[in-house]
Amino acid sequence: MKKEHIIQIINEGHVSVPRLLLNYYVSVGLHEEDAFFLIRLHSFIEQGNSFPTPEELAHAMTYSPQACLDKIQQLMQKGVLTIEEHQNESKNYYSEVYSLIPLWERIFKAIEQEEAEKAAAKNDENEESLYTLFEREFARPLSPIECETLAMWIDGDKHDAELIKGALKEAVLAGKLNFRYIDRILFEWKRNGIKTLEQARSYGEKFRKHQYDKKAPAKPDVKKDSGQSAPIYNWLGR
């Protein structure tokens, strides 16, 4: 569902308090009194009164009419509330209405930023675990050039961390534990549009069958291992 559709549903569809507002009002720079005022305003809008007066708002709260007017101005300055012109169904005249769409827009930006930060943190964690995994398999610290190569696979070539782990495992099972061999595996996978380990397994099976059918002199170097993540080939000897 597109963001615009979700915003429309929130703005038009229900009378309950939007959970998004409760969860993210702090993230968009609002205080509790701001959030409650917006909830009250949202309630008026849902009941069909899209432009309650300060007096009507004050009657439903402990604020004075002037305090309600001040709060409206503050929320507009914070960019979470606007006043728009709305054309009636007969198109004879325009009326003013409060719009909370800027609020939902701000909240969605906060959600996107939160998801981006989580993704970045996950990438950092995956990158750190990759270095640890490589050093464990190589039984030694990685050299500066090897660290640079691993960083290039992650940041430059945009290889998925799981695919890098799969290529490393295949190199281990093939007894060819070196970066050149792993790089060749990743290159072949990327060239053939492989993005998951399942696709890598499928590609390997097709390649092995093709090699056997051709009866090529240089046969794939295949090792049986029920737990392997990808087929084993002599990638450098292709």
Q: How far apart are CA 8 and CA 105, in angstroms?
A: 11
* Contact between residue 234 and residue 174 where contact means Cβ atoms under 8 Å apart: yes
87 membership: H or E segment, kind and range = strand 82-87
One digit per residue, the tens of pLDDT, for the chain of length 238 reads: 567 767 766 665 555 677 889 999 999 999 999 999 999 999 999 888 999 999 999 999 999 999 999 999 999 999 999 999 887 776 677 889 999 999 999 999 999 999 988 887 877 777 778 888 999 999 999 999 999 999 899 888 888 888 999 899 888 888 899 999 999 999 999 988 888 888 888 877 776 666 556 555 554 554 444 444 444 455 444 4
What pLDDT, on a 0 to 100 scale, did the predictor assign at position 11?
Answer: 62
CA distances from 196 to 27, 114, 171, 212 (A): 35, 26, 17, 25
What pLDDT, on a 0 to 100 scale, did the predictor assign at position 233?
Answer: 52
What pLDDT, on a 0 to 100 scale, did the predictor assign at position 197?
Answer: 84
What pLDDT, on a 0 to 100 scale, did the predictor assign at position 101?
Answer: 94
What pLDDT, on a 0 to 100 scale, did the predictor assign at position 201?
Answer: 82
What pLDDT, on a 0 to 100 scale, did the predictor assign at position 206?
Answer: 74
Q: How far apart are CA 185 and CA 236, in angstroms?
A: 9
What pLDDT, on a 0 to 100 scale, did the predictor assign at position 227?
Answer: 44
* Contact between residue 78 and residue 29 where contact means Cβ atoms under 8 Å apart: yes
Q: How far apart are CA 84 and CA 57, in angstroms?
A: 18
Q: How far apart are CA 45 and CA 29, in angstroms?
A: 23
What the chain holds in terms of domains, given with CATH numbers, is 3-108 (1.10.10.10), 142-237 (1.10.10.630)
